[in-house]
């Protein structure tokens, strides 16, 4: 499914108009303690150990290149306290909605089955939500939702079928799961100002991985444990796009350091042609940097979450790409992080001042164990 250039521009203008109206209403209705729609500070996603962000290195100019912005948020679901948010879907993402809408392409991980049916799978936690979850995503300007995670089949293949049907009905492209293996591993391709952007998703979580894996005749979640299939999925995306993004579900819960399985896979996907590799699952943010010419961010943490409080972030990447030039003519030229915390309602809340500095310090600690080169 591709968008035309005219369609993309029309949609983007509509988004920006909504964002401007939202900001105006917030300014009129809120007290001076309410954060602005896109506040400072925003810093490089790869801060140095000294906590000072390195200046981005300007990329060489490319003849005919377009500049795109891609935004990535973390794990989203609606249960417990976050289920109540769906009473007013347009407010779920709070002040983070404006930068999501402003991006050319925005992606989050939808960590739930979208169903009222099915039987719980033999696992500890089960999440499901009504189809109004997709209303909340579209209201915030989210373009693509990943189902490549360890909760998409919480209510079995009946639940997954309902999720896929609800996504189609809402007009929200989903990645990382499908009715067959070919569908699950396929990228969604969107065209922005002539630049073809392919986004695909996979899970590296081992729980029920074999049972949930798709086949030619069985639905499921794209699993990166099949390294050959994972690499081929990136190569297939590379053949049809100028920008290749892999959205992973991976990591160790509560750890902001990547494990060897993650770093090994990231290198393989980068070698296969991915321009951007990012992901979620650990419930805390990890850090970003470079593997060769590939920008990698190991995890954005929770974004809309049903319990507790934690750091969160919105990662926005500025990309230079030549329409029709293929991934070899794509460069990530800037990586910005908008910091936040998960509030008492389960929503992401923007932070500034000392609270933002504290988040920044923890991200700097994550950077030191990332094994990534600073950049871009």
Per the domain annotation, does 28 fall within a domain? no
Pick 97 or 57 by higher pLDDT.
97
Per the domain annotation, does 43 fall within a domain? no
**Mean local confidence (pLDDT), 303-328:** 97
Per the domain annotation, does 20 fall within a domain? no
Residue 62: per-residue pLDDT: 76
pLDDT over 70, % of the chain: 84
Closest Cα to residue 15, out of 121, 123, 143, 118?
A: 143
Over residues 177-208, the pLDDT tens digits come to 999 999 999 999 999 999 999 999 999 999 99
Give the rounded distance of the alpha carbon of 150 from its chain centre: 15
C-alpha distances in Å from residue 143, one per residue of 119, 197, 332 = 29, 12, 20
Per the domain annotation, does 358 fall within a domain? yes
CATH classification at residue 325: 3.60.21.10
Per the domain annotation, does 351 fall within a domain? yes
Pick 47 or 92 by higher pLDDT.
92
Over residues 246-272, the pLDDT tens digits come to 999 999 999 999 999 999 999 999 999
**Mean local confidence (pLDDT), 220-239:** 98
**Mean local confidence (pLDDT), 109-115:** 98
Over residues 144-166, the pLDDT tens digits come to 999 999 999 999 999 999 999 99
Per the domain annotation, does 47 fall within a domain? no
Residue 225: per-residue pLDDT: 95
Phi and psi of 158, rounded to 5°? -65, -45
Pick 293 or 38 by higher pLDDT.
293
User: Token digits for 9?
Assistant: 């521009």
Per the domain annotation, does 3 fall within a domain? no
63-67, 109-113, 300-304, 341-345: the lowest-pLDDT one: 63-67
Over residues 90-110, the pLDDT tens digits come to 999 999 999 999 999 999 999
Per the domain annotation, does 21 fall within a domain? no
Closest Cα to residue 313, out of 15, 45, 22?
A: 45
Domain range for 209 is 66-368
Please tell me the total count of domains within the chain: 1
């Amino acid at each position: 499914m591709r968008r035309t250039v005219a369609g993309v521009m029309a949609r983007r203008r509509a988004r920006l108009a909504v964002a401007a109206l939202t900001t105006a209403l917030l300014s009129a209705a809120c007290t001076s303690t309410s954060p602005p729609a896109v506040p400072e500070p925003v810093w490089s996603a790869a801060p140095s150990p000294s906590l000072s962000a390195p200046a981005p290195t300007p990329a060489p100019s490319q003849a005919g290149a377009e500049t795109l912005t891609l935004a990535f948020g973390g794990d989203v679901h609606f249960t417990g306290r976050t289920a109540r948010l769906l009473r007013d879907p347009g407010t779920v993402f709070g002040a983070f909605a404006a930068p999501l809408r402003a991006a050319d392409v925005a992606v989050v991980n939808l960590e739930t089955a979208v169903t009222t049916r099915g039987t719980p799978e033999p696992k500890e936690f089960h999440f499901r939500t009504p189809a109004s979850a997709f209303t909340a995503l579209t209201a915030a300007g989210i373009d693509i939702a990943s189902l490549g995670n360890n909760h998409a089949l919480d209510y079995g293949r009946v639940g997954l079928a309902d999720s896929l049907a609800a996504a189609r009905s809402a007009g929200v492209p989903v990645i990382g799961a499908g009715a067959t293996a070919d569908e699950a591993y396929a990228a969604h391709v969107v065209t922005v100002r002539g630049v073809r952007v392919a986004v695909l998703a996979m899970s590296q979580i081992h729980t029920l991985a074999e049972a949930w894996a798709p086949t030619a005749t069985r639905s499921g979640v794209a699993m990166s444990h099949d390294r050959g299939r994972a690499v081929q999925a990136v190569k297939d995306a590379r053949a049809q796009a100028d920008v290749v993004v892999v959205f992973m579900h991976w990591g160790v819960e509560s750890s902001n350091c990547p494990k060897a399985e993650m770093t090994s896979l990231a290198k393989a996907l980068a070698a296969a042609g991915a321009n951007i590799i990012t992901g979620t699952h650990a419930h805390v943010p990890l850090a970003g940097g470079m593997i060769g010419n590939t920008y990698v961010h190991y995890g954005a943490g929770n974004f809309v979450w049903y319990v507790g409080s934690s750091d969160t972030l919105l990662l926005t990447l500025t990309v230079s790409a030549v329409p029709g030039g293929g991934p070899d003519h794509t460069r990530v030229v800037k990586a910005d992080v908008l910091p936040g915390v998960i509030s008492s309602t389960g929503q992401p809340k923007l932070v500034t001042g000392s609270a933002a500095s504290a988040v920044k310090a923890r991200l700097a600690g994550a950077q030191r164990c990332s094994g990534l080169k600073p950049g871009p």
